[in-house]
Chain A
Amino acid sequence: MKLTRRHTLMMALGSALAAVMPFRAFAAVEDNIAAFTGGAAVGSEGITLIAPEIAENGNTVPIEVNAPGAEAIIVFAAGNPTPSVATFNFGPMAASQSAATRIRLAGTQDVVAIARMPDGSFVQASQEVKVTIGGCGG
């Protein structure tokens, strides 16, 4: 095969794409977060996310979110094939804006929780969870 100008260009393009790939997975989360917040600034006070530091089984990782006064809390798993995990909307009969559930994690990654407050502001908390056995099958 002769190395033509076109081939050289294609190869350069391919390596450039490969260099960008690791950021793409993270960008998906950023996009999701932007879709929820509408691009607004996100604070960090007034929300707690309780997740284990080490989860032996990625199929059931217990998490708990708590954001006093929040309208809604959305949870993302940054390293999952689909980052969205769940959205909790709290109604007038909710005693506290907290909820606990169990989630799947594909591997070691950050879990992110964002709460929307009634005044339109957003707060965020995140925690890294180390996963021994991933929970996405294969």
Chain B
Amino acid sequence: MADNVTPRVRVPRDATAGEEITIKTLISHPMESGQRKDGDGNVIPRSIINRFTCTFNGETVIDVTLEPAISTNPYFEFQAIVPETGTFEFTWYDDDGDVYTDSKDITVG
């Protein structure tokens, strides 16, 4: 498995009902493309995160399929609607079967 995989997510703490908010996510991951070679000329095997999803109270916000052309430490920025108080769930799926998750609560005041 990839070492030191740390998801970081930025979501506003509170919002007004129906507000559109911007979410920024970053996860530290080498995203080895399978194209590079080591010093001896051997191909370094592919090891990437192949899928990222974000849901709000179980409803999908965005579902991204990642290919090796996504940079190291995949970064995503997108917009979501917040109709009510709830939780954003973020999930990253690694090639090796690992799943990394993070969640953020948001309050509608």
Contact = CB atoms under 8 A, between A and B. Distances in A.
Interface of A: 59-61, 64, 77, 80-82, 84-96, 98-105, 135-138
A95 B11 CA distance: 14
B68 A82 contact: yes
Interface residue tally on B, bucketed by range: 20 to 34
Contact of A81 (B35, B64, B78): B35
Contacts, number: 107
A136 B36 contact: yes
B83 to A, nearest CB: 8
Given A80-B69, A88-B64, A136-B36, A101 B75 contact: yes
B61 A138 contact: no
16 contacts: A59-B71, A81-B35, A86-B64, A86-B67, A90-B60, A91-B59, A93-B55, A94-B78, A95-B20, A98-B78, A100-B76, A101-B77, A102-B71, A103-B71, A136-B33, A136-B36
B62 A99 contact: yes
A113 B66 CA distance: 14
B64 A95 contact: no
Interface string B4-42: 000000000000000011000000000001011100000
Contacts of A89: 60, 62-65
A94 B64 contact: no
B90 interface: no
